[in-house]
Chain A
Amino acid sequence: MDTTREQLEQLKFRDPARARALAEALAREVKAIGRAPVSLMHVCGSHEQSIARFGLRALFPRDLHVIMGPGCPVCVTDMPEVDEAVALAMAGHRVATYGDMMKVPGSVKSLADAQGEGGTIDVVYSMRQAVDLATAHPDQEVVFFASGFETTAVATAAVLMSGVPKNFSVLSAHKYIPPAMEIVAEMPGTRIEGFLAAGHAAAITGAVVFEPFVKKHKVPVVVGGFEPLDVLAALVKLVELVRDGRAEVANMYPRVVTHEGNKNAQEKLWKVFKSTGGRWRGIAHIPDGNLRLRDEWAHVDARKRFRIDVSQLRDYAPSGLAQRCICGDIMAGIRQPSDCELFGKECLPESPVGACMVSSEGSCRIWHTYGGVPDLREVG
């Protein structure tokens, strides 16, 4: 790996002087809108990471609210999906998944609990590792519990298309983000005036995927990257569009994202997956929000291969703590992690109550990691 060149490349997008200029532009444009606050939403944990890690909120004008929406695929994985994985593990199959999925609560148990009770669960860093497990253990059924937005789903599709061992199957919890934006835009509790869309997902779908949304909801969408200057520049563009009342799609990440996207990846995605309606944890039923394997792929679909019996895992009331978790409202952008009475007290990364504290993409986890968002503008 050429770290030097990568770092120089990165530093270009972390230049403090240019950041300050963009922050001034942001303040100017928000003021020009003439009403407060202006609420914008991003839908990606990596955007929140960047904002929190670099302390960008201290650069935002006070009247600009940048809210994290449902941008964490692990967090919106619903209890029944976790239950299915737990049931498969308890039935003696080998479940492989990403580490973030281990502690996501199911109705009764998480995968970590299932492991404690004798289930075999392997944490993998890529789906390829899960396939290797299946090759190494031909006598066992290996089920890959797949999570992630369309970006990761493309990788799942590509591996399936390249051929997998007979004892390998996929339990898909993949999610498709554009329909979720529709739901959040229509929620009565939020008044979002513009959306910042995730650059890596748009690299696949293309900026064009947001055109119907923009027409229908009359709010602008700007595709943005993840370095601090990418985020700031995208926000400036978004606020400009709000100021001018222009509901359009703008691409502020052209070094990665094209209008049409990656056709090859899209083909793979839709060849293997179809979008179906399903619940996103804490948010709502999202029409077309879940990615499930097409019928042609039934032979590698864990839902078709096994009779998954989750009856043992239902009919339990959630614990008292879980009832007080406001994860759903946080992902819908209605409330913030700091509004939650459990945040940083009963709910910690080591002992998470809600999914937003489990995943490194979850807003509670990110806020906790970077010390929350106290107003530090005047400090020092």
Chain B
Amino acid sequence: MAASRSQVDRIGLKHGAGGRAMRALIEDVFLGLGAPVDGIGLSALDDGAAIRFGDRWIVITTDSHVVHPIFFPGGDIGRLSISGTVNDLAMMGATEPLGLTCAVVIEEGFPRRDLEVIRDSMKQACDEAGTTVVTGDTKVMGKGEVDGIIINTTGVAVARRVVSDAGLEVGDKIIVTGTIGDHGMAIMTRRRDLQIDGDLRSDVAPLNGLVRAALAAGGEDVVAMKDPTRGGLASSLHEMAGKAKVGILVEEAKLPMSRAVRAAGEILGIDPLVVANEGKAIVGVRAASAEKVLAAIREHPLGRRAAIIGTAIAERPGNLILDTGLGKRLIAEIEGEPLPRIC
């Protein structure tokens, strides 16, 4: 493995893009930091950590948020910073966050008005998630030392049962809770000033309410969850397939996708499967409970377009197979940032 993995002296953007390069970097550089814990620790490379505490679990996750543009259709960095952390907790089965921390690094000259708008968005997202910011930290850096603003949030919750992203078994059904690719496509088309007919809006939203409904309906039959952020659905499913040593067969016709995302994907030459979502979850469910869980998710306002998109299979463990309706092919694991096709 080491021979085929190219060692680099400098960190590139691809090392933060959620693909193979990022995982390699984390494994090579940071994994050694994590000694075994009673529960899910660093070595699991899950959405967060879960540490046993009596008959409960303390679930912790942290995330630094940078996005350009800071304000985008459907949200802003403030909404993103709350939703991202609430969602990482929810994906571990912890849907009642006790509170969040918030550390902000601001560039000298940043407009105060923008900061207030961002604060209001954070408040709004906290209200939707039923949580609050309990402590924070503020730093200002000189002009050019940081690009605009960086927001880090850490979330803590207590859960009775923890759901990892490694729990799939052959036969399990894969639910995605709504249309894919909305966030990433909204950002990319905004960055490039591309006019697409129809509404391209980020889906950024806290999902703990929706996950609570799914867990209430499926109980122990909900066996794996993950939010397909950077790297999109493809990266997250690859991770789930790899950790559980199953293949995942995805039916393309079942993938919920907005018309605008589909069009943007064709124009930019970017597969919506590898594009970030900020308000969607992948839920792995035992087949017997799949319809019941799907119905519960669809009842929730954020889950109306949820669908069963695939099945865990014994063949080709660690791989994703896409049934295009015409034929089947593998979905390649992305290496780094998906760049728009040039010509």
Most buried by A among B6, B259, B269, B329: B329
| Contact B4 A346, beta carbon cutoff 8 Å | yes
Which chain A positions have C-beta within 8 A of B21? 350
| A55: contacting residue among B4, B247, B262, B328, CB under 8 A | B328
Separation of A370 and B14 alpha carbons in the complex (Å): 19
Which chain B positions have C-beta within 8 A of A3? 196-198, 259-260, 262-263
Q: A346-B4, A349-B335 are in contact. Are A377 and B269 (CB under 8 A)?
A: no
| Contact A58 B328, beta carbon cutoff 8 Å | yes
| Contact B326 A56, beta carbon cutoff 8 Å | yes
Separation of A1 and B319 alpha carbons in the complex (Å): 36
Is B288 an interface position by the 8 A CB rule? no
Q: A1-B196, A350-B335, A360-B342 are in contact. Are A380 and B260 (CB under 8 A)?
A: no
Which chain B positions have C-beta within 8 A of A374? 316, 330
Q: How far is the CB of B284 from chain A (nearest CB, A)?
A: 17
Separation of A99 and B321 alpha carbons in the complex (Å): 30
| Contact B327 A58, beta carbon cutoff 8 Å | yes
Is B216 an interface position by the 8 A CB rule? no
Q: How far is the CB of B231 from chain A (nearest CB, A)?
A: 15
Which chain A positions have C-beta within 8 A of B330? 370-372, 374, 376
Separation of A370 and B259 alpha carbons in the complex (Å): 22
Separation of A370 and B273 alpha carbons in the complex (Å): 12
Q: Which residue of A lies closest to B263 (CB)?
A: A3
Residue-wise interface mask of A (1-45) relative to B, using a CB-CB cutoff of 8 A (1 in contact, 0 not)? 111101100000010100100000000000000000000000000
Interface bin, chain A? 35 or more
| Contact B335 A348, beta carbon cutoff 8 Å | yes
Is B25 an interface position by the 8 A CB rule? no
Is B331 an interface position by the 8 A CB rule? yes
Residue-wise interface mask of A (359-380) relative to B, using a CB-CB cutoff of 8 A (1 in contact, 0 not)? 0100000001111111011011
Is B107 an interface position by the 8 A CB rule? no
Separation of A9 and B73 alpha carbons in the complex (Å): 29
Which chain B positions have C-beta within 8 A of A303? none
Which chain A positions have C-beta within 8 A of B198? 3
Separation of A192 and B247 alpha carbons in the complex (Å): 36
| Contact A379 B259, beta carbon cutoff 8 Å | no
| A125: contacting residue among B197, B323, B342, CB under 8 A | B342
Is B311 an interface position by the 8 A CB rule? yes
User: Which residues in chain B, 294-326, are within 8 Å of chain A measured between CB atoms?
Assistant: 311, 313, 315-316, 319, 321-326
Q: Which residue of B lies closest to A372 (CB)?
A: B330
| Contact A228 B342, beta carbon cutoff 8 Å | no
| Contact B326 A379, beta carbon cutoff 8 Å | no
Q: How far is the CB of B223 from chain A (nearest CB, A)?
A: 20
| Contact B321 A380, beta carbon cutoff 8 Å | yes
Is A113 an interface position by the 8 A CB rule? no
Q: How far is the CB of B21 from chain A (nearest CB, A)?
A: 8
Is B112 an interface position by the 8 A CB rule? no
User: Which residues in chain A, 74-106, are within 8 Å of chain B measured between CB atoms?
Assistant: 98-100
| Contact A55 B315, beta carbon cutoff 8 Å | no
| Contact A54 B327, beta carbon cutoff 8 Å | yes
| Contact B327 A370, beta carbon cutoff 8 Å | no
Q: How far is the CB of A18 from chain B (nearest CB, A)?
A: 10
Which chain A positions have C-beta within 8 A of B249? 379-380
Which chain A positions have C-beta within 8 A of B262? 3, 7
Which chain A positions have C-beta within 8 A of B331? 370-371
Which chain B positions have C-beta within 8 A of A380? 249, 311, 313, 315, 321, 323, 328
Is B341 an interface position by the 8 A CB rule? yes
Q: Which residue of A lies closest to B316 (CB)?
A: A379
Is B11 an interface position by the 8 A CB rule? no
Is A57 an interface position by the 8 A CB rule? yes
Is A256 an interface position by the 8 A CB rule? no
| B263: contacting residue among A1, A59, A348, CB under 8 A | A1
| Contact B321 A376, beta carbon cutoff 8 Å | yes
Query: Given A55-B327, A348-B335, list of 9 further CB < 8 A pairs?
Result: A1-B197, A53-B329, A55-B328, A57-B327, A58-B327, A360-B269, A370-B330, A373-B329, A380-B328
30 contacts between A and B (CB under 8 A): A1-B263, A2-B197, A3-B196, A4-B259, A7-B262, A14-B325, A14-B326, A16-B325, A54-B324, A54-B329, A55-B326, A55-B329, A56-B327, A99-B343, A100-B343, A228-B326, A346-B6, A350-B14, A351-B6, A370-B329, A370-B330, A370-B332, A374-B316, A376-B321, A376-B328, A376-B330, A379-B247, A379-B315, A380-B249, A380-B315
Give A residues with C-beta under 8 Å from B: 1-4, 6-7, 14, 16, 19, 52-59, 98-100, 123, 125, 148, 228, 345-346, 348-351, 360, 368-374, 376-377, 379-380
